A and B are shown apart, each in its own frame.
Chain A
Amino acid sequence: MSNILEIKNLVVSYGGIEAVKGINMVVPEGEIVTLIGANGAGKSTTLKSISGLVKPKQASILYKGKEIVGQSPDFIVSQGITLVPEGRRVFPNLTVLENLKIGAYLRKDNLKDDLEYVFTLFPRLREREWQMAGTLSGGEQQMLAVGRALMSRPKVIMMDEPSLGLAPLVVKDIFNIIQTINKEGITVLLIEQNANMALKIAHKAYVIETGTITMEGTGDELLANEEIKQAYLGKTK
């Protein structure tokens, strides 16, 4: 299978301090790839660089073989890479429907089918179509954030800590949805602190520590790895 995203030697610095120190990773088409690591390891920065929200110091990011470094975020979204930002970031004073329509902002064609698709995926959102997004529960807001991203018809959906601040049961729902989306052919790049859940559903996983990739493998390989168990899964020998 071909790689839909190839990240080569990504370096990002914030005011002279390097947050990401030259990482290399590939995202094969149609798979779930996860990037796990502690706070401040550079996970979010990596995603933001791919989506164009942060300008990397140096990098080559190939999307379907084409260089996308230096492109504007709206161009990158229009090409089919959409970010579900950390902490959900729905538009609180707009209705659920408006939120979804903004997700499809760059598309000028008919949204009816896509709305229907999102509503079948998340029936709760259909019930709350006219409700302000700020009045939804945390889990519903996360569903809305994912739904909003799906409205742009992405080929690659990048999720920044979708489980953040959610109850365990809701987290399970969200991960089920991630798998559903993936089965429909959308490539998922997931970053998580909840390593256990992320590794269970991932086809491929990377571990990032203070800006460098220290380990990679399939999800199962890393789940079985002793170091990972100690550092991220909270299991002792």
Chain B
Amino acid sequence: MTEKKKTQLKVLFSLIALLVCAGMLFYVNHYTRPTFMLRTVLQLGAIYALVAVSMNLLNGFTGLFSLGQAGFMAIGAYTFAIFTIPVKSRSGVYYLYGVADWLSNIQIPIWAAIILAGLVAAILAAIIGAPVLRLKSDYFAIATLGFAEIVRIIVGSSPMNRITNGSLGLKLIPKFSNFYFPFIVVGICILIVSLLIRSSYGRAFKAIREDEIAAEAMGINLAKHKQLSFIISSFFAGISGALMGMYLGAITSTTFNVTLTYNILLIVVIGGMGSITGSIISSFLVIAAREWWLRFLDMEIFIGSFKVPLLKSGFRMVVFSLILMIVVLFFRRGIMGTNELNWNFIINRLNKKKKTGGESCE
């Protein structure tokens, strides 16, 4: 009875928390200037949250250290762009090389294109997964990194000119139809991933991360589950790539270079390998710090006639990197470790604090 009541309370609180989040989004949408930084941070943060969660599924939950996320995002973004750029403006986008004949009249709805972006990324993952997943740890990371680079270079190469517009990139990609669009898509995707992780498949992934031999001895088919995790992760990376394309409105192959993968990895590590809520929190924090809170460091500031030293364009990233090092030094397992920010976690934390007399427990 009390257990049941507790669960009911938790559900109630979760609904309230969800409403509060929705209310905040509503407020930001209606009562802030369209150029306000918070809008950018929230939208970009949501997109990064999705790709960070997809990377966490592979790196944090299944223990496969992949560095190919940017490649799958590129595939998703390009797939989305190719099929959604309005037909009448195609000749303008492909002004130099012209558009491939089979492509010139195809335009599919946005929702279908988002799913297609995920599917194409997933199919490619299935194809390269079979050989690449045989590799262990570092070698797997190198192979996926190489794959991402290959994708980036092929997409920007001249034989693809009439499809991807080569090095010129694609523009006039449809933007978000309204402010809430990315949050809804990201919310649904992350919900699916977290349900997957709570299922028996999720347990099998974690078992593989913990001990491959024991997992195999328990009857978990390693190859099949690794492949599954890789495909699902790539599917959501593809979707986040499509959202990224919508957000930016224009993409080139250099949008998806190695740095992007490292940024995602950074979010995952700071949030905690093996924590979905950790990835979400850290993606908003990292994006906010990088794009917003630290911006003032890039501007030259004069106090009277005194020019504050060091402040100039680019200094922001120096401070940002320093903060990262400090975070990694003092929160070695990330903000959340492998915990999830749920009511159980909060209740445990509060109880612990009471016991230790309100001291910080970290």
Contact = CB atoms under 8 A, between A and B. Distances in A.
Interface of A: 51, 53, 72-74, 76-78, 82-83, 85, 89-94, 98, 101-103, 105-106, 148-149, 152
B1 interface: no
Interface stretch (B49-57, B212-220, B294-302): B212-220
Nearest to A108: B200
B221 interface: yes
A92 B209 CA distance: 10
Contact of B217 (A51, A78, A94, A101): A51
Contacts of A105: 200, 203-204, 207, 218-220
B200 A85 contact: no
A53 B219 contact: no
A110 to B, nearest CB: 13
Interface string B26-51: 00000000000000000000000000
Contacts of A85: 213-214, 217
Contacts of A106: 219
Interface residues of B, number: 18
Nearest to A134: B210
Given A89-B211, A89-B214, A101 B219 contact: no
Given A98-B206, A105-B204, A93 B219 contact: no
B214 A90 contact: yes
A94 B206 contact: yes
A91 B212 CA distance: 10
Contacts of B204: 102, 105
A53 B206 contact: no
Interface string B194-209: 0000001001101100
Contacts, number: 70
Given A89-B214, A92-B210, A102 B220 contact: yes
A91 B217 contact: no
Contacts of A53: 213, 216-217
A85 B207 CA distance: 14
16 contacts: A74-B220, A77-B219, A78-B219, A83-B217, A85-B213, A89-B211, A91-B207, A92-B211, A94-B203, A94-B206, A101-B200, A103-B218, A105-B218, A105-B219, A105-B220, A152-B218
Q: Which of B215, B217, B220, B274 has the most CB of A within 10 A?
A: B217
Given A72-B221, A102-B220, A152-B218, A91 B211 contact: yes
Contacts of A102: 203-204, 207, 215, 218, 220
A138 B207 CA distance: 19
B172 to A, nearest CB: 47
B257 interface: no
A93 B220 CA distance: 18
B338 interface: yes
B219 A89 contact: no
Contacts of A77: 217-219
A16 to B, nearest CB: 22
Contacts of A92: 210-211
A157 to B, nearest CB: 12
Interface in B53-84: none
B264 to A, nearest CB: 23
Nearest to B204: A105
Nearest to B274: A93
Contacts of B220: 74, 102, 105
Contacts of B219: 73-74, 76-78, 82, 105-106, 152
Given A53-B216, A73-B216, 8 more contacts: A73-B217, A101-B203, A102-B220, A103-B218, A105-B220, A148-B218, A152-B218, A152-B219
Contacts of A76: 219
A105 B221 CA distance: 10
A118 to B, nearest CB: 14
Contacts of B214: 85, 89-91
B217 A93 contact: no
Interface in B330-354: 338
A103 B217 CA distance: 9
A76 B218 CA distance: 10
Q: Which of A53, A82, A94, A102 has the most CB of B within 10 A?
A: A102
Nearest to A132: B338
A89 B338 contact: no
Contacts of B218: 77, 82, 102-103, 105, 148-149, 152
